[in-house]
Amino acid sequence: MASSSASTRPRIVIYHQTTHNPDGSLISILPLITQPDISLTHIIVAAIHINDDPDKLTLNDHPPSDPRYVTTWAELRIAQASDIKVMGMLGGAAKGSYARLDQDQATFETYYGPLYDLIRERDLDGLDLDVEENMSLSGIVRLIDRLRADFGPDFIITLAPVAAALIDVRRNLSGFDYETLEVMRGKQIAWYNTQFYCGWGDASNPVMYEICVARGWSPEKVVIGLVTTPDNGPGWVPFEILKPTLALLRRQFPTFGGVMGWEYFNGQPGGKARPWEWAQRMTELLGNPRIEKTQNAIVQHSEPIEIDPDVENGPKLETPQNFEYYSDGSIEDDGN
């Protein structure tokens, strides 16, 4: 199973589904890399759909190889080179992908093959299984087992249940029981991108998260899912309300799993003009490890240190570690 980043910092995960403006112009993710004070950990490109024709896999409404995605895939490669994990999301609100995988073995192989090819071709770091249709427990277990067998221990496998599903099996969109799945295959699941919005959860206070932990869910594996703007669905939590909630959860649970945002292109406070500002605000609310590291270094070296280059065998000058330069960076909607 892929190692978690939660031991060093909470995850900041963002979905990237709306890749183009209505006029066809690209919505660039490069500002998530080039703008300062962003500690994004994962980008999940959405949404991959398995269609009736197994050879007609689509990313939203177009084949993943469509020319419109050339720059998007190139930018995602840059993100990977910048130490951001890039995953794909399978499923979402558009149903059918999991029904096609949840059949006999021969049918599973037919529909799974093109998905395998896409993951290999794009060198994805993981796959988010957003099951918003009925699927059997044995079916999701088979899919998880196959992904692990095919892509190895470092491949990231996540799921995206609604928050209520972690508390009450009757209130979920996936059909199977997540608590049972966690018992059976929890070691293979890195975390859950839990939807605390659209009436399925409430992130305005810590109560529902605390209930999840009280039921036995590991804080490290429960990532609070948020809509990045009221335009993306009910359940938007203003930053001034979210700030004390996240601060409390971080104090209560040192391994707090982090936050997820649906979705990138119009996130507040910058909106469509500056959507990366959502990630900046989340970095601020959760604590920027780069800033904290610098502040700790200043405190540790508050006494003046004299470096005399004329003194033989004197202390050596050291270059700063992890120093990064920044420069300014720039519908289809299936829903999550």
What is the set of domains in the chain, with CATH numbers?
A: 11-300 (3.20.20.80)
Instruction: Find residue 44's DSSP bridge partners.
Output: 15, 87
Query: In the structure encoding, which two tokens stand for residue 335, read together?
Result: 């829903």
In this prediction, residue 93 carries a pLDDT of 86
Omega cis (within 30) before 99 = no
Work out whether strand 58-59 and strand 42-49 pair parallel, antiparallel, or are unpaired.
antiparallel
Give the Cα separation of 46 and 231 in Å (integer): 18
DSSP string, 200-248: S---SSSHHHHHHHHTT--GGGEEEEEESSGGG-S----HHHHHHHHHH
Radius of gyration of the chain (CA): 21
In this prediction, residue 120 carries a pLDDT of 98
In this prediction, residue 307 carries a pLDDT of 31
In this prediction, residue 169 carries a pLDDT of 86
Query: In the structure encoding, which two tokens stand for residue 132, read together?
Result: 């918003």
> Tens-of-pLDDT digits for all 336 residues of the chain?
443 433 458 999 999 999 999 999 999 999 999 999 999 999 999 999 999 999 999 999 999 999 999 999 999 999 999 999 999 999 998 899 999 999 999 999 999 999 999 999 999 999 999 999 999 999 999 999 999 999 999 999 999 999 999 999 888 999 999 999 999 999 999 999 999 999 999 999 999 999 999 999 999 999 999 999 999 999 999 999 999 999 999 999 999 999 999 999 999 999 999 999 999 999 999 986 544 444 444 344 434 433 333 334 433 333 333 323 222 233 444 455
In this prediction, residue 336 carries a pLDDT of 58
* CA distances from residue 103 to 64, 77, 140, 143 in whole angstroms, order as listed: 24, 34, 11, 11
In this prediction, residue 8 carries a pLDDT of 57
In this prediction, residue 9 carries a pLDDT of 82
